[in-house]
């Protein structure tokens, strides 16, 4: 199986009795190695839930998830944690950086949690910060970084353990236009470098960094588009220039 | 003569930059230039959007401007070689540039044609407005992806990147409105309420929802 | 009126929304008020039993006892000069006495043996509790000693190889209770003769007595016939005692001070009724003191707990205050609602404390067997109730002040935005923790995030352990010099036991408060750690470590302070409690911390991390 991620008939129901919410109503997904998939839909369509199920942060009501060919539904919490350490890097809308840690300390945290040596973790973190263009901000606290910089730190953190797949939940959701561009550039660079990524978003711009775009509505996939990178039509038509 | 807004086809999503004439005049306002210099300036500012700007188009326009008395030219070097001409603004041309800079005309924001298309389709029972919306959304989305990718391949802080960002943001606004259309026409009672809701639609088109801050 | 109803409704709703919080607050304040009530009630409970005993037994104002120096003998007639001293109105004696080891029921006790053919006298008439007065071959055992060694009428007694029989037990107001009874050549009262060196010494005067002489050890009192006394006494240890009644009992100390003398041949000791009364009240006054001290410690720990509790809820309370302000409530109303909640809890807690104190009081105020009548139910005067309620309300008001002031001060928008205090950063701890195993890494960082809360935890544990260790040390020093049989002085350890239990309860409550606040505060970063690959075990381990390290630090500080406190408070040399007890205190602290944090942390850790992260 060459899929890094595979989901079959995923269902998720919140609440019980009268107040049930069906967040997911049967979703199938295969993500190939090296592929970047964007899942788009309005808020409340279940895309964040899907991402959490794929990363083992929640357990589905029904259905199966495989990560790197291994089914994770039956794993206990401890094994799920180990799986996340090895295979998954998370990026969140709200960044979720620890405020009391500097950029580099945030980035090295997953490596430390995975039991790497402090010097190796620090070395890797410095490399990653350099890769996201924040080498000179390594010693700064998140509070002194802009939104785009914080999200770039968070992305570097997601890469700390060289994950098989990066799962990003609305990575540009809290960012202004300029910061969004910064982050999109970074994600696009990761895609070009062959990093497998699943990005859920309702920001259409994020789709530009994807190989495949899946539209989601009311807990189901409604449409799937392969976004080939062949030569595009002349953009000048858009400008409406006339002599 | 400015391009009108919401005219269907590709122009409906395009950036109405206006005529090239004023642009060339403005570029000449700094100093007299060769035609190829002007073209290079346009290409820098437009980036990938300048791809289809044909080499001849600049010269054709300059010739028109000269004929209208807005531009004067002086031959340098071999005769009849238009690329050897150096162009300069006449006083009338300068006035035209000043007028253009002061002009605050803005593309009309109402996507009235598409809106009426949906209303008509629903009223006549010709087609399901939702399918029309879906198809349109796909087109806009694909276009957005193409432009965004072009923007990503521009170096940071490029002036052309700024233009591309403008395209992307407008397309994004269009997508938001199309989402609103999809929701509206998905309602069972939608066609009956079409007339009474018209005002609301126009408002939502004029001021698209802010992009991302919906989630609490 | 409408406003009062609104305040009441808001307060009740909020309390019902958070019953756990209210319960912790209640227990924290109630533990402090219970001990405080006990301390206050026991104060002044001791005098009456002694006074009634003194009245019934015609207790003397001054007891003069004359003993020979080693190698000498004394003449009882030399005591008669004191009979005519100014102010003396009545007397009895001189009676002969000596000191010997008495064996009874397998126990050997050093005992003062006093020769009294009759219990009838003008001064000092021992009152028989059981049996009858002594006859040749019989002894009457002082009631306190009888209780401690379990002597009953008819028991066989061996004095210097001679068999005797217990004929009765009796109460006197003329001697200190077992095991502190003392006559010349020892000075146990306040009156001391000047020594050649000019110093004052409790011990035997002029060097150590010969091994077969008078011993300064825990001693009781028995009465024999005068003839039997002379028979059992070594000639060099035959002494005489004289009981005097004065015209002015209050002048007894001055009278005694003027008469205590040491010569080369004799020692004349004078003990006053005030000395005996103080000695009778010793156990009780120690209990009072330890309860007062303990309740102060408890109040401190309670304040620490409540500060942590309120601090943990600060974000929520400020937000709530913001909400109320946003809909038009004034800051004052917001503060009043908070105050109403906490005052209601404090009132309930003081009620509980007073009730608990009433239940425990009879156990603690037992005056001892050597006196007539019980202490009676010590009274809960309105003053005591007022003090207890006042302290409880002050604690609550203190706890309310900070969030109320904060809520009143900050703007409504800020409050609604839930701007929680940002965590602190401690670079060296973060760097250090990077080299630790994962639970330590997480734990150290959690502890460093909220240094004030961590220090409060250290402080609370240290305070509690100080009290507990001081109690253990006091108990150890009692045990180290304990008299044969059931030493009544060990009764004071009842008070210490109450203190220790209360402190342990309070410290546990505090621990729960700290753990609760920390878990609330770190919920998001804990969820994040799990998303980044930490196992639930590592995360809850980290939370435990974050509590455990300060608690262990506090426990060690507490052990040191407790021993120091015992040293300062106890006039006897410090007796270090057995090491196993100290180890048990420290390990028990660790165990309680682990239980208090591991369970909620574990529950929190198994919740879906996804939900928490998404909600944030």
Looking at the partner chain, which of A175, A205, A240 has a beta carbon nearest the beta carbon of B17?
A240
For B174, name the nearest residue in chain A, comparing CA atoms only: A204
Contact list in C for residue A109 (CB cut-off 8 A) is 529, 532
Residue C521: how many other CB atoms lie within 10 Å: 21
From CA A223, how far away is CA A219, in angstroms rounded?
A: 12
Interface test with A, best of B11, B41, B152 (most A CBs within 10 A): B152
pLDDT higher than threshold 60 for residue B83? no
Contact list in A for residue C522 (CB cut-off 8 A) is none
pLDDT of res. A50: 92
Examine residue A220 and state whether it is found in any structural domain, yes or no: yes
CA distance, residue A211 to nearest chain C CA (Å): 26
Q: Which C residues 436-455 touch A at CB under 8 Å?
A: 438, 441, 445, 448-449
ipTM for the complex?
0.84
Of residues A191 and C579, the one with the higher pLDDT is A191
Helix (H, G, I), strand (E, B) or coil at B88: strand
pLDDT higher than threshold 80 for residue C33? yes
Mean local confidence (pLDDT), B41-67 = 80
Beta bridge partners of C242: C64
pLDDT of res. A191: 93
Among B33-47, C490-504, C552-566, whose mean pLDDT is lowest? C490-504
A208 to B144: CB separation less than 8 angstroms, yes or no: yes
Asked if B211 has any chain A CB less than 8 Å from its own CB, the reply is yes
B144 to A185: CB separation less than 8 angstroms, yes or no: no
Of residues B54 and C130, the one with the higher pLDDT is C130
CB A41 within 8 A of CB A219: no
Q: Which residues of C82-118 are buried (b: 16+ CB within 10 A; e: fewer)?
A: beeeeebebbbbbbbbbbbebbbeeeebbbbbbbbbe
For B15, name the nearest residue in chain A, comparing CA atoms only: A239
pLDDT higher than threshold 70 for residue C598? yes
Q: Which helix (H) or strand (E) holds C570?
A: none
Contact list in A for residue C434 (CB cut-off 8 A) is 105, 108, 112, 118, 121-122
- What token pair was written down for C533? 């690959």
pLDDT higher than threshold 50 for residue B12? no
- Nearest CA-CA partner of C493 in C469, C471, C470: C471
CA distance, residue B82 to nearest chain A CA (Å): 18
The residue written with tokens 């595009």 in the block is A232
Instruction: For chain C, list the contacting chains (3+ Cβ pairs, <8 Å).
Output: A
- Torsion sign over Cα A127, A131, A135, A139: negative
Contact list in B for residue A172 (CB cut-off 8 A) is 212
pLDDT higher than threshold 80 for residue B134? yes
Q: Which helix (H) or strand (E) holds B200?
A: helix B198-206
Helix C47-56 and helix C273-280, axial crossing angle in degrees, nearest 10: 130
* pLDDT interval class at B3 (50, 70, 90): very low
- What token pair was written down for C498? 């109450």
Contact list in A for residue B61 (CB cut-off 8 A) is 243
| Cis peptide upstream of residue C94 (ω within 30 degrees of 0) | yes
- Nearest CA-CA partner of A156 in A180, A184, A134: A134
pLDDT higher than threshold 80 for residue C208? no
Q: In whole angstroms, how far apart are CA C35 and each of C247, C359, C506, C603?
A: 42, 12, 11, 34
Examine residue A139 and state whether it is found in any structural domain, yes or no: yes
Interface test with C, best of A98, A104, A166 (most C CBs within 10 A): A98
Question: Hey, what's the torsion of the CAs at A191, A193, A196, A198, to 10 degrees?
Answer: -20
Model pLDDT for residues C344-398, shown as the tens digit of each residue: 888 998 999 888 888 877 666 655 555 555 445 556 778 888 888 998 888 888 7
Looking at the partner chain, which of A173, A233, A237 has a beta carbon nearest the beta carbon of B212?
A173
Of residues B19 and C188, the one with the higher pLDDT is C188
- Work out how many domains chain A is built from and give that number: 1
Pairing relationship of beta strands C62-68 and C266-272 according to DSSP bridges: antiparallel
pLDDT higher than threshold 50 for residue B7? no
CA distance, residue A140 to nearest chain B CA (Å): 23
Among B175-189, C406-420, C441-455, whose mean pLDDT is lowest? C406-420
CA distance, residue A236 to nearest chain C CA (Å): 42
Asked if C524 has any chain A CB less than 8 Å from its own CB, the reply is yes
B52 to A240: CB separation less than 8 angstroms, yes or no: no
Q: Which helix (H) or strand (E) holds A204?
A: none
For A157, name the nearest residue in chain C, comparing CA atoms only: C532
pLDDT of res. C574: 66
Instruction: For chain B, list the contacting chains (3+ Cβ pairs, <8 Å).
Output: A
CA distance, residue C538 to nearest chain A CA (Å): 9
Match domain B21-213 to its CATH number in 3.30.70.580, 1.10.3720.10, 2.60.120.10, 1.10.10.10: 1.10.10.10
pLDDT higher than threshold 50 for residue B177? yes
Asked if B101 has any chain A CB less than 8 Å from its own CB, the reply is no
Among A161-165, A202-206, B104-108, whose mean pLDDT is lowest? B104-108
CA distance, residue A52 to nearest chain B CA (Å): 17
For A171, name the nearest residue in chain B, comparing CA atoms only: B212
Number of H helices, E strands in chain C: 18, 11
Q: Which A residues 118-137 touch C at CB under 8 Å?
A: 118, 121-122
Examine residue A198 and state whether it is found in any structural domain, yes or no: yes
* pLDDT interval class at A164 (50, 70, 90): very high
From CA C559, how far away is CA C470, in angstroms rounded?
A: 8
Q: For chain C, what is the radius of gyration of the CA atoms?
A: 32
Q: Which C residues 384-423 touch A at CB under 8 Å?
A: 422-423
* pLDDT interval class at C198 (50, 70, 90): very low
B60 to A243: CB separation less than 8 angstroms, yes or no: yes
A207 to B145: CB separation less than 8 angstroms, yes or no: yes
- What token pair was written down for C281? 């009240």
Examine residue A100 and state whether it is found in any structural domain, yes or no: yes
Model pLDDT for residues C42-74, shown as the tens digit of each residue: 765 545 677 777 778 888 888 888 887 777 777
Interface test with A, best of B105, B158, B175, B211 (most A CBs within 10 A): B211
C532 to A84: CB separation less than 8 angstroms, yes or no: yes
C535 to A81: CB separation less than 8 angstroms, yes or no: yes
Q: Which A residues 14-43 touch B at CB under 8 Å?
A: 42-43
Among B167-176, C95-104, C126-135, C308-317, whose mean pLDDT is lowest? C308-317
- Torsion sign over Cα B74, B77, B82, B83: negative
3-state secondary structure C327-357: CCCCHHHHHHHHHHHHHHHHHHHHHHHHHHH
B167 to A93: CB separation less than 8 angstroms, yes or no: no
- Nearest CA-CA partner of A238 in B138, B22, B140: B140
Per-chain mean pLDDT for chain C: 77
- What token pair was written down for C171? 């109460």
pLDDT of res. C1: 61
From CA C302, how far away is CA C309, in angstroms rounded?
A: 10
Examine residue A18 and state whether it is found in any structural domain, yes or no: yes
pLDDT of res. C406: 66
For A43, name the nearest residue in chain B, comparing CA atoms only: B215
- What token pair was written down for B40? 């290079």
Which domain does A111 fall in, by range? 3-230
Domain CATH code at residue A71: 3.40.50.300
CA distance, residue B143 to nearest chain A CA (Å): 9
Residue A197: how many other CB atoms lie within 10 Å: 26
pLDDT higher than threshold 90 for residue A123? yes
CB B204 within 8 A of CB B182: no
Helix residue ranges, H only, C281-330: 282-326
% of residues, chain C, pLDDT over 90: 2
Model pLDDT for residues A173-203, shown as the tens digit of each residue: 888 888 898 899 999 999 999 999 999 998 8
Asked if A52 has any chain C CB less than 8 Å from its own CB, the reply is yes
Asked if A74 has any chain B CB less than 8 Å from its own CB, the reply is no
Pairing relationship of beta strands C138-142 and C107-115 according to DSSP bridges: unpaired
For C613, name the nearest residue in chain A, comparing CA atoms only: A96
pLDDT of res. C211: 45
Mean local confidence (pLDDT), C21-31 = 83
Of residues C479 and A85, the one with the higher pLDDT is A85
Pairing relationship of beta strands A36-40 and B33-34 according to DSSP bridges: unpaired
A239 to B10: CB separation less than 8 angstroms, yes or no: no
CA distance, residue B81 to nearest chain A CA (Å): 21
Model pLDDT for residues B92-106, shown as the tens digit of each residue: 999 988 988 888 888
Instruction: For chain A, list the contacting chains (3+ Cβ pairs, <8 Å).
Output: B, C
- Torsion sign over Cα C346, C350, C355, C357: positive
pLDDT higher than threshold 50 for residue A172? yes
For A167, name the nearest residue in chain C, comparing CA atoms only: C531
pLDDT of res. C451: 84
Among A136-140, C29-33, C477-481, whose mean pLDDT is lowest? C477-481
From CA C470, how far away is CA C248, in angstroms rounded?
A: 41
Which 8-state DSSP code applies to residue C382? H
From CA C516, how far away is CA C22, in angstroms rounded?
A: 13
pTM summary value: 0.70
Looking at the partner chain, which of C535, C611, C613 has a beta carbon nearest the beta carbon of A96?
C613
C531 to A84: CB separation less than 8 angstroms, yes or no: yes
pLDDT higher than threshold 90 for residue A101? no
pLDDT of res. A67: 93
Asked if B205 has any chain A CB less than 8 Å from its own CB, the reply is no
pLDDT of res. C491: 61
Model pLDDT for residues C74-129, shown as the tens digit of each residue: 777 777 777 777 777 888 878 888 888 888 877 888 888 888 887 777 888 888 88
């Amino acid at each position: 199986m060459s899929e890094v991620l595979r989901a079959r008939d995923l269902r998720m129901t919140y609440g019980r009795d009268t107040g049930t919410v069906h967040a997911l109503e049967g979703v199938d997904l295969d993500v190939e190695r090296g592929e970047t998939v964007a899942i788009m839909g309005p808020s409340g369509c279940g895309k964040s839930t899907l991402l959490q199920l794929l990363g083992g942060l929640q357990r589905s009501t029904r259905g199966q998830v495989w990560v790197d060919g291994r089914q994770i539904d039956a794993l206990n919490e401890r094994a799920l944690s180990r799986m996340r350490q090895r295979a998954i890097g998370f990026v969140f809308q709200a960044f979720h950086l620890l405020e009391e840690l500097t950029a580099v300390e945030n980035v090295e945290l997953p490596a430390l949690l995975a039991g790497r040596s402090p010097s190796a973790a620090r070395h890797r973190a410095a490399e990653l910060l350099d890769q996201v263009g924040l080498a000179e901000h390594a010693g700064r606290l998140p509070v002194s970084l802009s939104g785009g910089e914080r999200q770039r730190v968070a992305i570097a953190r997601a890469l700390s353990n060289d994950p098989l797949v990066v799962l990003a939940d609305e990575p540009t959701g809290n960012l202004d236009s300029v910061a969004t561009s910064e982050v999109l550039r970074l994600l696009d660079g990761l895609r070009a470098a062959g990093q497998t990524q699943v990005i859920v978003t309702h920001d259409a711009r994020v789709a530009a960094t994807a190989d495949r775009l899946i539209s989601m509505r009311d807990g189901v996939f409604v449409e799937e588009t392969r976004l080939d990178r062949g030569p595009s039509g002349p953009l000048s038509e858009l400008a409406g220039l006339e002599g | 003569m400015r391009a009108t807004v919401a005219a269907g086809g590709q122009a409906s999503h395009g950036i109405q930059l206006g005529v090239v004439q004023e642009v060339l005049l403005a570029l000449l306002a700094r100093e007299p230039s060769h035609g190829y210099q002007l073209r290079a300036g346009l290409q820098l500012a437009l980036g990938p959007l300048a791809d289809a700007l044909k080499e001849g188009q600049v010269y054709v326009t300059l010739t028109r401007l000269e004929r209208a008395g807005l531009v004067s030219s002086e031959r340098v070097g071999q005769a009849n070689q238009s690329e050897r001409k150096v162009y300069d603004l006449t006083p009338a041309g300068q006035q035209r540039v000043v007028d253009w800079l002061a002009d605050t005309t803005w593309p009309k924001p109402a996507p009235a044609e598409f809106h009426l298309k949906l209303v008509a389709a629903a009223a006549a029972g010709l087609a399901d407005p939702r399918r029309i919306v879906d198809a349109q959304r796909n087109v806009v989305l694909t276009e957005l992806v193409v432009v965004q990718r072009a923007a990503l391949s521009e170096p940071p802080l490029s002036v052309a990147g700024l233009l591309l960002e403008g395209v992307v943001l407008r397309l994004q606004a269009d997508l938001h409105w199309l989402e609103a259309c999809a929701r509206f026409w998905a309602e069972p009672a939608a066609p009956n309420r079409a007339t009474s809701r018209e005002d609301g639609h126009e408002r939502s088109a004029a001021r698209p929802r802010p992009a991302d801050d919906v989630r609490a | 009126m409408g406003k009062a109803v609104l305040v009441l409704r808001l307060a009740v709703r909020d309390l019902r929304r958070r019953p756990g919080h209210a319960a912790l607050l209640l227990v924290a304040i109630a533990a402090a008020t219970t001990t405080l009530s006990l301390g206050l009630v026991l104060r002044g409970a001791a005098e009456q039993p002694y006074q009634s005993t003194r009245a019934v037994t015609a207790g003397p104002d001054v007891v003069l006892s004359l003993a020979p120096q080693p190698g000498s003998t004394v003449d009882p007639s030399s005591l008669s000069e004191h009979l005519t001293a100014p102010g003396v109105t009545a007397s009895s004696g001189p009676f002969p006495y000596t000191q010997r080891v008495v064996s009874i029921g397998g126990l050997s006790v050093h005992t003062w043996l006093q020769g009294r053919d009759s219990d009838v006298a003008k001064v000092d008439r021992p009152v028989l509790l059981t049996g009858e007065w002594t006859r040749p071959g019989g002894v009457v055992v002082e009631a306190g000693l009888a209780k401690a060694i379990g002597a009953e009428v008819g028991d066989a007694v061996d004095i210097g190889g001679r068999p005797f029989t217990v004929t009765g037990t009796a109460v006197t107001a003329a001697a200190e209770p077992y095991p502190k009874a003392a006559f010349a050549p020892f000075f146990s009262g306040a009156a001391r003769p000047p020594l050649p060196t000019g110093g004052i010494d409790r011990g035997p005067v002029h060097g150590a007595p010969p091994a077969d002489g008078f011993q300064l050890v825990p001693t009781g009192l028995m009465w024999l016939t005068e003839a039997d006394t002379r028979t059992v006494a070594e000639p060099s240890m035959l002494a005489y005692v004289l009981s005097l009644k004065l015209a002015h009992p209050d002048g007894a100390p001055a009278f005694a001070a003027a008469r205590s003398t040491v010569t080369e041949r004799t020692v004349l000791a004078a003990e006053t009724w005030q000395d005996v009364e103080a000695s009778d009240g010793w156990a009780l006054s120690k209990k009072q003191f330890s309860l007062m001290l303990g309740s102060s410690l408890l109040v401190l720990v309670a304040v620490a707990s409540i500060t942590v509790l309120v601090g943990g809820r600060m974000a929520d309370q400020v937000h709530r205050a913001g909400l109320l302000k946003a809909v038009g409530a004034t800051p004052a109303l917001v503060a009043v609602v908070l105050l109403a909640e906490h005052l209601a809890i404090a009132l309930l807690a003081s009620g509980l404390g007073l009730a608990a104190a009433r239940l425990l009081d009879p156990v603690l105020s037992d005056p001892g067997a050597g006196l007539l009548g019980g202490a009676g139910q010590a009274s809960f005067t309105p003053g005591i109730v007022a003090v207890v309620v006042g302290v409880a309300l002050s604690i609550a008001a203190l706890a309310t002040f900070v969030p109320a002031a904060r809520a009143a001060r900050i703007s409504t928008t800020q409050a609604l935005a839930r701007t929680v205090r940002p965590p602190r950063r401690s670079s060296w701890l973060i760097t250090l923790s990077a080299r630790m195993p994962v639970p330590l890494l997480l734990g150290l960082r959690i502890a460093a995030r909220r240094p004030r809360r961590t220090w409060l935890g250290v402080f609370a544990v240290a305070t509690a352990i100080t009290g507990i260790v001081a109690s253990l040390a006091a108990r150890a020093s009692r045990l180290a010099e304990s008299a044969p049989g059931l030493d009544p002085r060990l009764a004071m350890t009842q008070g210490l036991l109450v203190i220790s239990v209360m402190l342990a309860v309070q410290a546990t409550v505090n621990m729960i408060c700290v753990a609760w606040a920390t878990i609330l505060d770190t919920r998001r970063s804990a969820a994040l750690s799990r998303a980044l690959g930490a196992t639930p075990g590592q995360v809850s381990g980290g939370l435990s470590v974050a509590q455990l390290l300060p608690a262990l630090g506090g426990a060690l500080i507490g052990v040191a302070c407790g021993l120091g406190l015992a040293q300062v408070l106890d006039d006897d040399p410090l007796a270090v409690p057995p090491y196993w007890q100290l180890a048990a205190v420290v390990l028990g602290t660790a165990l309680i911390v682990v239980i208090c944090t591991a369970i909620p942390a574990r529950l929190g850790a198994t919740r879906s991390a996804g939900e928490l992260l998404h909600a944030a």
